[in-house]
A and B are shown apart, each in its own frame.
Chain A
């Protein structure tokens, strides 16, 4: 039982990254019917921005001989990384996708792939091939709750991921921008004719998705402090799976699917050797999708309407 609970906590942490990245995929896909294949790499950029911010803050504190509590550094790192990465996301949309909005979907999809490659290799060209170590921001404390070990780091990751998801859910449900996103997800051709600024809403969608990806990047850096230019690829693919599994454009759906992915991966390792993790995990997910082709919360596919 303890072993099970332990893995549940681990799965929740592991799923947090998938959930946060998947939401960004899902939002863009929901509105534009576009797979933003660069999103995994936007996560990577977010992690790097977080790395530079955190390193800078630590160095600044050392130079100025100020003792910054770690929660201040983490909060600042998180906010700055999210803020800056929002602009990265908007730039990707403005430069990469907007000129191709009326082009065939396949052109937009390869644009995403190319932007992804450009971000990866751009990082490589600018920063070199050496990996970066994320500065240790939290002094690890382990709590033993009747045999289940939980670190403060795990708590941080899970709490941040869940609260960001929840806040975004409120945003989508209760603000005019969120409502506009929902309306555009169904029909983005006519929505501007009701006074909704199309480009603003799309830019906002990319900004929010990228900010969440940056949050995931910072949390990832805290948990697994080695950063490399290609760190976003696998996470990006898996988050993409979660986004589709959650259902088109469904925030809670894709977050739930992200956590499910985390659980499945962790629980597979409970039973099978870790070399078989993704092989078995994704066979299971393939099976789930066979029975739920619209994902958890998705509406049946409706053809994109044009005037």
Chain B
């Protein structure tokens, strides 16, 4: 059974067809890429999968459940973590608080526990903090616990976002242009971090990216989107050599 299975998904915004008859399938532990020119509908697909928007037509199955009617928080709690094209961190919160906030759905102690420090609460808090620190170490921000996010360099803020997405115990991680705004050094670090996450946690990853080298390095399969439609799909080699992709997206001057 595929981890995520999207069938015939279409979404209109007024008269604009942002996504048309989109199909997608990912198995546990795979890394897929989604590429395409600006405005092709890539982020819209992320928003549809995570429940920010609802599709006009089509179905989405995640971990065997039809999640079309699920509110975002339930989809997230099922194991769908994501990051955003433009950094969306809670600016006034510390790095550790970011991770702990994303553990919301895993905290089961109630009001009494929170106010009177019951055993259950202390135990869970300890476990969650431990988990949080592990996640932070995994993405290489283990020492930044109490830092406020605006004080961190851009590359590290990106990692905080990834760590936050990992804190909900995702089975599938959606990364929306994780390298946007990064320099080449930060870029290489990020490739390593993503590989590391993938090796350690075995989480499936779907990423939107513009940097071809990054996509080709990481992904097993790639879809190319143009005007809301998939124009090509296949392995990195197939995508590189597909004339439609080269026309629509890569242009003639790009040699990889």
Known: A174-B115, A182-B93, A307-B52. A195 touches B104 (CB 8 A): yes
In the complex, chain A residues whose CB is within 8 Å of the CB of B147: none
In the complex, chain B residues whose CB is within 8 Å of the CB of A198: 71-73
Chain A 287-307 residues near chain B, CB threshold 8 A = 299, 302, 305, 307
Is B115 a contact partner of A180 (Cβ separation < 8 A)?
no
CA A187 – CA B76 in complex, angstroms? 16
CA A174 – CA B118 in complex, angstroms? 13
Asked if B82 lies at the interface with its beta carbon under 8 angstroms from chain A, I say yes
CA A195 – CA B114 in complex, angstroms? 19
Is A193 a contact partner of B82 (Cβ separation < 8 A)?
yes
In the complex, chain A residues whose CB is within 8 Å of the CB of B111: 175
Is B97 a contact partner of A190 (Cβ separation < 8 A)?
no
In the complex, chain B residues whose CB is within 8 Å of the CB of A176: 101, 104, 107, 114
Chain A 32-68 residues near chain B, CB threshold 8 A = none
Residues of A in contact (CB 8 Å), total 26
Is A195 a contact partner of B88 (Cβ separation < 8 A)?
no
Which of A174, A182, A190, A302 contacts B84 (CB under 8 A)?
A190
CA A307 – CA B87 in complex, angstroms? 11
CA A187 – CA B102 in complex, angstroms? 14
Give, as a whole number of angstroms, the nearest-CB distance from B8 to chain A. 23
In the complex, chain B residues whose CB is within 8 Å of the CB of A171: 114-115
In the complex, chain B residues whose CB is within 8 Å of the CB of A183: 90, 93, 101
CA A187 – CA B72 in complex, angstroms? 15
Which of B47, B73, B114 contacts A197 (CB under 8 A)?
B73
Give, as a whole number of angstroms, the nearest-CB distance from B129 to chain A. 13
In the complex, chain A residues whose CB is within 8 Å of the CB of B71: 192, 197-199
Which of B76, B82, B92, B168 contacts A186 (CB under 8 A)?
B92
In the complex, chain A residues whose CB is within 8 Å of the CB of B165: 194
Residues of B in contact (CB 8 Å), total 32
Nearest B-chain residue to A180, judged by Cβ: B104
Asked if A156 lies at the interface with its beta carbon under 8 angstroms from chain B, I say no
Is A186 a contact partner of B91 (Cβ separation < 8 A)?
yes
Chain B 81-118 residues near chain A, CB threshold 8 A = 82, 84, 88, 90-93, 97, 100-105, 107, 111, 114-115
Chain A 9-39 residues near chain B, CB threshold 8 A = none
In the complex, chain A residues whose CB is within 8 Å of the CB of B76: 192-195
Known: A174-B115, A187-B88, A187-B90. A196 touches B104 (CB 8 A): yes
Is A194 a contact partner of B104 (Cβ separation < 8 A)?
yes
Is B52 a contact partner of A193 (Cβ separation < 8 A)?
yes
In the complex, chain B residues whose CB is within 8 Å of the CB of A234: none
Asked if B40 lies at the interface with its beta carbon under 8 angstroms from chain A, I say no
Asked if A170 lies at the interface with its beta carbon under 8 angstroms from chain B, I say yes
CA A196 – CA B106 in complex, angstroms? 10
Asked if A114 lies at the interface with its beta carbon under 8 angstroms from chain B, I say no
CA A85 – CA B131 in complex, angstroms? 39
Is A299 a contact partner of B47 (Cβ separation < 8 A)?
no
Which of A195, A302, A307 contacts B73 (CB under 8 A)?
A195
Asked if A179 lies at the interface with its beta carbon under 8 angstroms from chain B, I say yes
Nearest A-chain residue to B52, judged by Cβ: A307
Chain A 163-183 residues near chain B, CB threshold 8 A = 170-171, 174-176, 179-180, 182-183
CA A191 – CA B164 in complex, angstroms? 11
Give, as a whole number of angstroms, the nearest-CB distance from A57 to chain B. 26
Is B91 a contact partner of A193 (Cβ separation < 8 A)?
no
Known: A179-B100, A307-B47. A195 touches B77 (CB 8 A): yes
Known: A190-B88, A195-B168. A174 touches B73 (CB 8 A): no
In the complex, chain A residues whose CB is within 8 Å of the CB of B77: 195
CA A199 – CA B71 in complex, angstroms? 10
Is A196 a contact partner of B90 (Cβ separation < 8 A)?
no
CA A196 – CA B104 in complex, angstroms? 6
Give, as a whole number of angstroms, the nearest-CB distance from B202 to chain A. 20
In the complex, chain B residues whose CB is within 8 Å of the CB of A307: 43, 47, 52, 84
Nearest A-chain residue to B111, judged by Cβ: A175
Asked if B179 lies at the interface with its beta carbon under 8 angstroms from chain A, I say no
The 7 closest A-B pairs by CB, nearest first: A195-B105, A192-B72, A175-B114, A195-B76, A194-B102, A195-B77, A192-B73
A-B contact pairs, 27 of them (CB 8 A): A170-B115, A174-B115, A175-B115, A176-B101, A179-B104, A183-B93, A186-B91, A186-B93, A187-B88, A187-B90, A189-B88, A191-B101, A192-B71, A192-B76, A193-B50, A193-B72, A193-B73, A194-B102, A194-B104, A195-B76, A195-B103, A195-B104, A195-B105, A196-B73, A196-B104, A198-B72, A302-B91
Interface residues of B (CB under 8 A from A): 43, 47, 50, 52, 71-74, 76-77, 82, 84, 88, 90-93, 97, 100-105, 107, 111, 114-115, 164-165, 167-168
4 further contact pairs, Cβ within 8 A, besides A194-B167, A307-B84: A193-B72, A195-B73, A196-B73, A196-B101
